[in-house]
Chains A and B, each alone.
Chain A
Amino acid sequence: MDFIKGYHRANGEYGIRNHLLVIPTVICANQVCNRISQTVPGTVSIPHQHGCSQIGADKVRTFETLAGTGKNPNVGAVIIVSLGCEVIDPHELAKDIGTTGKPVEVIDIQEVGGSVKAIQKGIEIAKRLRAELDQQPIVNMPISELRIGVKCGGSDATSGMASNPALGVASDILIEKGGTVVISETTEIIGAEHVMAARCSSKEVADKLYHFIERFEVEINRMGADMRGGNPSPGNIAGGLSTIEEKSLGCISKCGTSPLVGAFEYAEAIPGKGLYFMDSPGNDIECVSGMAASGVHLVCFTTGRGTPTGAAVIPVIKITGNERVFKSMNDNLDVDVSAMLAGTLGLNEAGESIWQEIVEVADGKETKAEILGHQEFSINRIGPTL
């Protein structure tokens, strides 16, 4: 069996990183969280715009994204910072994340008496938890426990011709080894859903996929808007993509050729092993944040135009099939498969090189996004602000 280095969690899961995560329950707690994470090395924060004036499914979505991020196996311990009067209940959040068995502490800014005291208390807790995490042993993690997200962003024509099909080969390798792949971006399978549906392992999975797409298209129709200009984006169009259908057909090859065994809602926990679909917008940060909340260990991100995208609790490996962009944005990009377009690199060979990078990053190698400290985080929102 293949093994990589990991951290064994109390609930039996394995992490490939050992983050101490500081979660603001609400925008009002962002600054306190940022000061704590800036002061204690090895601590990450996920500032966001939500957590209050939200109701119903929208409130649930924020809660589940925060809870899922805390439960991600790359997180070893969590500090939750609440203002004290928001709709997201910090103690409910702590209880939910605590089901994983990892340490979770709560700070209430109103209760402790303001930002300064909350920051001081947070720093003390963070130092203690960080010291505990640093004592945690590194163990052998079976590669079959690895869960990856596959995402494309800043696409151009090279994405559909080179980087996505090559990533598809790597996706197939992981599934063959017993691992898990999550593909997402509901708006970017519009026009290619019949191809995806034909690969579903059951009618129920296909029906759910069609339900997610219909829900999005109904919303677009309700707005009376043309998707073009928004998706494909101006950059996609400059890169040669003419329609959403063309973009989608280029997108789906990144999840390989395995059967699609399930589909789930944004930020919902991945239900099992194999290839899954998660409902999400194509928006890079909202999608990657949702994947992290669903429990992926890392995301493989293809781009033709180039992007700095990283994520708070998971590594993001960036892959391009555009030689010019690999050179001009080398700070941000990890893998170059552009030789596929010169005919000097075969599809399987390119896929193997991506697989090699996945194994190395899972084993501890830092991605460019990690080195640069890219920790983008954004929660998908579905309701009005009250």
Chain B
Amino acid sequence: MAGEVVAGADALVVDEKDHVATALKDIQAGDTIHYRSKDQLVTVVALDPIPFGHKVALVDMEEGTHVMKYGEVIGRATIKIERGRHVHVHNVEGIRGRGDQSQGA
């Protein structure tokens, strides 16, 4: 499922529908991140520190946006997320397995 990594890339995009890329190294705020999208080499400037294995937003997302990775929905944006922001539990929440939101909870 995962796309193969191009040597020297800073982040990996798995599917062309994805809203996020996964950092392949620790990235500082202000760093330029290089990644491959649809065979193009693209850059995005990090607005936050992005630790190795964490995600960076590739597009601006409104609150409530269904965030895509692997070409599938991985959760919902809980606030507006700008391109270049760190995408993690502070701004994305899972939609599934949420007994806390079930009736009677």
Contacts and interface: CB of A to CB of B under 8 A. Distances in A.
Co-complex (A, B): yes
B2 A253 contact: yes
Nearest to A217: B97
Contacts of A341: 5, 12, 24
B102 A221 contact: yes
Contacts of B5: 161, 340-343
Interface string B78-105: 0000000001110011111111111011
Nearest to B74: A246
B22 A191 contact: no
A224 interface: yes
A162 B2 contact: yes
Contacts of A158: 53
A239 B53 contact: yes
Nearest to B91: A242
A157 B89 contact: no
B22 A161 contact: yes
A243 B72 CA distance: 12
A165 interface: yes
B51 to A, nearest CB: 7
B2 A242 contact: no
Range class of the A interface residue count? 35 or more
Given A160-B70, A240-B22, A242-B55, A227 B9 contact: no
A381 B57 CA distance: 41
Nearest to B22: A157
Given A156-B53, A157-B53, A244 B4 contact: no
Contact of B54 (A157, A190, A217, A222): A157
B6 A242 contact: no
Contacts of A157: 22, 52-55
Contacts, number: 132
Range class of the B interface residue count? 35 or more
A187 B99 CA distance: 13
A375 interface: no
Nearest to B76: A243
A197 B9 CA distance: 33
Contacts of B24: 341-342
A227 B53 contact: no
A343 B75 contact: no
Contact of A240 (B54, B93, B98, B102): B54
Interface string B1-44: 11011111100101000000011100000000000000000000
Nearest to B97: A227
A195 interface: yes
Given A245-B94, A343-B4, A221 B75 contact: no
Contacts of A347: 2, 4
Interface string B51-70: 11111000000000000011
Interface string A233-253: 000010110111110011011
A46 B23 CA distance: 42
Contacts of A342: 5, 7, 24
Contact of B99 (A222, A237, A344): A222
Nearest to A257: B1
B97 A190 contact: yes
B26 to A, nearest CB: 11
B98 to A, nearest CB: 6
A226 B54 contact: no
Contacts of B72: 191-192, 195, 245, 249
Contacts of A240: 22-23, 51-55, 88
Given A160-B2, A242-B89, A340-B4, 15 more contacts: A157-B52, A158-B53, A165-B2, A191-B73, A195-B72, A222-B99, A224-B102, A225-B100, A227-B99, A237-B88, A240-B22, A242-B55, A242-B94, A243-B75, A243-B92
Q: Which 8 A-B pairs have the closest CB atoms?
A: A227-B97, A157-B53, A240-B53, A343-B7, A243-B94, A224-B105, A246-B74, A221-B102
